[in-house]
Structure formats: structure tokens, C-alpha cells
């Protein structure tokens, strides 16, 4: 068996060498071939040059350089595409994920699971700005998708290659991979992993990301449950909006008939009509836009990134 470890890197120069040493120590202790794929997501702090040095010293290190910063999902997607391992691990490049947990994930996967996700049970991040919003988001994601995980945001995960290469990722969907993979009938497990405080560099995550996740969740819900039966969601929303509109409209019509009073200038008529039409159009346009993007990436084999160069990749 061959193992691939995919690590997105964005301005993590001070953490790269130590991460590389820890990964090498762990991977050398396993009875498997391995490769380490660093994806330089448009770093501007010299991370790219350092990664090239490591790749020239060690052929098991492979580097993908993006032309600019395309985001973590694009970086992970590129790593999946070029990985040659039977099992693919992902982890952050900030040293907060512990490479020593890789054997634990691999051992759990050998029990017959297709995906094993890490759970940062004792998380070393600020509580109110990072941990608490994450807990709320994880609870909502689990409830909406039906895939119960404590920590969707943990980057340390293990995937069987033939499963993950079936998925097309774009936007910021990397955190929803277990939910998307559940549509393929995958067996998913979760185990506690070590989480360490950041030693160097600056976090790229903020409170605003929680709101982005919740917006992405609407799309994931549609793709998981309604993409083959869109009339259920469009018809459901349309029926609700119709009911909310028909009752005040009926009232106004009857009021006009029995009293003869003018209703054309009534705020209730204007507001209910505008909100109903605008809300329905925006929701439909948003979902149709997501479907168009999905078709664009999948039917034309497009990828949400552009590579400048690669090192040690055939």
C-alpha cells in the first residue's frame, strides 16, 4: 500500500521544516511507501522556495505551486488529483495537526472504513472566536446532512483514494467531504486526535468563515437531497410563499369587493408581492447558479485552480 499526505501551504514558512521532519519520522516508521504533496497556495513569504529545497533534497516530497491564492478547497483538490497513494491523508501546514496521529487514522481505516476524520476533542484555539462557533456550525452541519461528526473543520482526515477521486470540489467544500462522500455509500468514522497550539505564523481563519460555512451548507443540502428531484424544493418553497401571499391577497380582494375601497396603494399589497417575487427569484437563481458551476467543472473537466509549476510530479 502507498500513502499520500496532502498539505496545503499558505504563508507557513516558519512551520514547514519542522512539519516535514515530523512527517518523515512518522511515515518512515510505517511499512508502506509514501509521498508528501505540498500545495503552495500562492504564498508570498518564501514558503515556495523552501518547499522547492525540500523537494530537491527528497524525491518523496512533491510540490504544486499555484499562480495565486485559490483557497484551501482548491489546494486539497489539486493534491487529490495528483496523489498516487491508495490512502490519502490531509492536514494543515501550521503544525496544529499532529503527524503522529496518522497511524491511528490508518489503523481505524483498516477496520473497513472509507473515510476516517479527526476530532480535535481538546482544541487549543480561542474559545469564543474559534471553538464555540465551530461547535455550533458542526451541530448544524450534522443535523442538516445527517452525517454525525463532532468536528467537520478538522483538516486531519484519511480517505481511500478511489473514493475521494470520485468527488469534484469547488468553492469551500473541503470541510463537507464526509457529507458529500456519504452520497456514494461510504463508511465514515471519527476518532479523537491531538491538537496543538500554533507556534509560528498567523491563523488564516476568522469568525467570518462560520457564516460562509452556513451559506455553503445550503448548497450541500440541495446537492445531497434535491439535485435529482429539484421540484420538491422549488415546489415546497413556492407552495409556502403562495400560501403566505394568497391569504392577504384574498383579504384585499374581498375588502375591495365589499367596500369598494381602493387597494392599489395599500402597503400590504406592495410589500407582500415584492418580497414573494424577490425571495423566490433569488433562491432559484442561487441554486441554479450552483448547478451551472457544478456542470462547468464536471462536464468540461475544469478545476478551480491554475498551476504555475510542479516539482517531482510526473
**pLDDT in the model for residue 210:** 65
**pLDDT in the model for residue 313:** 83
Q: Which of 133-137, 239-243, 290-294, 300-304 comes out lowest in average pLDDT?
A: 300-304
pLDDT tens column, 225-283: 766 566 666 767 777 777 777 777 778 778 888 888 887 777 887 777 777 777 777 77
**pLDDT in the model for residue 224:** 77
Going from N- to C-terminal start, the domains of the chain cover 2-226, 230-299
Whether 135 has a pLDDT exceeding 70, the answer reads yes
In DSSP notation, 239-273 reads: HHHHHHHHHHHHHHHHHHHHH----TT-HHHHHHH
Handedness of CA 203, 204, 208, 209 (dihedral sign): negative
pLDDT tens column, 13-45: 999 999 999 999 999 999 999 999 999 999 999
Residue located via cell numbers 464526509:
178
C-alpha grid cell, residue 289: 447558479
| pTM (predicted TM-score) | 0.77
pLDDT tens column, 188-209: 999 999 998 888 767 766 566 6
Among the four given CATH numbers 3.90.550.10, 3.40.50.720, 3.20.20.370, 3.90.1150.10, the one describing domain 2-226: 3.90.550.10
Averaged pLDDT, 299-311: 71
Q: Which of 56-60, 115-119, 181-185, 187-191 comes out lowest in average pLDDT?
A: 181-185
Q: How far apart are CA 281 and CA 278, in angstroms?
A: 5
Max mean pLDDT among 80-89, 125-134, 230-239 falls in 80-89
In 3D space, the residue among 85, 86, 42, 45 whose CA is nearest the CA of residue 64 turns out to be 42
Q: In which band, very low, low, confident or very high, does the pLDDT at 80 lie, cut at 50, 70 and 90?
A: very high
Cβ atoms of 60 and 34 closer than 8 Å: yes
Q: How far apart are CA 30 and CA 146, in angstroms?
A: 34
Averaged pLDDT, 88-95: 94
Q: What is the mean pLDDT of the chain?
A: 85
Whether 118 has a pLDDT exceeding 90, the answer reads yes
Percentage helix, strand, coil for the chain under 3-state DSSP, each rounded to 5: 50, 15, 35
Residue located via cell numbers 503552495:
40
**pLDDT in the model for residue 245:** 75
Percent of residues, the chain, with pLDDT higher than 90: 43
**pLDDT in the model for residue 300:** 61
Q: In which band, very low, low, confident or very high, does the pLDDT at 296 lie, cut at 50, 70 and 90?
A: low
Amino acid at each position: 500500500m502507498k500513502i499520500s499526505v496532502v498539505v496545503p501551504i499558505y504563508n507557513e514558512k516558519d512551520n514547514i521544516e519542522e512539519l516535514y521532519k515530523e512527517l518523515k519520522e512518522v511515515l518512515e516508521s510505517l511499512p508502506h511507501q509514501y509521498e508528501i504533496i505540498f500545495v503552495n497556495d500562492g504564498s508570498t513569504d518564501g514558503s515556495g522556495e523552501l518547499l522547492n529545497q525540500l523537494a530537491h533534497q527528497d524525491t518523496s516530497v512533491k510540490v504544486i505551486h499555484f499562480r495565486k491564492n485559490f483557497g484551501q478547497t482548491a489546494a486539497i483538490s489539486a493534491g487529490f488529483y495528483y496523489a498516487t497513494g491508495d490512502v490519502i491523508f490531509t492536514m494543515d501546514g501550521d503544525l496544529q495537526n499532529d503527524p503522529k496521529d496518522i497511524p491511528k487514522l490508518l489503523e481505524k481505516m483498516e477496520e473497513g472504513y472509507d473515510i476516517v476524520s479527526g476530532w480535535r476533542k481538546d482544541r487549543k484555539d480561542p474559545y469564543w472566536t474559534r471553538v464555540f462557533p465551530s461547535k455550533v456550525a458542526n451541530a448544524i452541519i450534522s443535523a442538516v446532512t445527517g452525517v454525525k461528526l463532532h468536528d467537520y473543520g478538522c483538516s486531519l482526515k484519511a480517505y481511500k483514494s478511489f473514493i475521494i477521486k470520485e468527488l469534484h470540489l469547488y468553492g469551500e467544500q473541503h470541510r463537507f467531504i464526509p457529507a458529500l462522500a456519504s452520497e456514494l455509500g461510504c463508511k465514515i468514522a471519527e476518532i479523537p486526535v491531538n491538537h496543538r497550539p500554533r507556534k509560528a505564523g498567523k491563523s488564516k481563519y476568522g469568525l467570518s468563515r462560520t457564516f460562509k460555512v452556513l451559506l455553503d451548507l445550503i448548497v450541500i443540502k440541495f446537492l445531497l437531497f434535491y439535485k435529482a428531484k429539484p421540484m420538491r424544493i422549488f415546489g415546497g418553497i413556492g407552495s409556502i410563499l403562495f400560501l403566505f401571499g394568497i391569504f392577504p391577497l384574498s383579504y384585499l380582494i374581498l375588502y375591495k369587493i365589499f367596500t369598494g375601497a381602493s387597494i392599489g396603494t395599500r402597503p400590504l399589497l406592495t410589500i407582500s408581492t415584492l418580497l414573494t417575487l424577490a425571495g423566490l427569484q433569488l433562491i432559484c437563481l442561487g441554486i441554479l447558479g450552483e448547478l451551472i458551476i457544478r456542470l462547468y467543472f464536471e462536464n468540461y473537466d475544469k478545476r478551480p485552480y491554475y498551476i504555475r509549476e510542479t516539482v517531482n510530479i510526473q
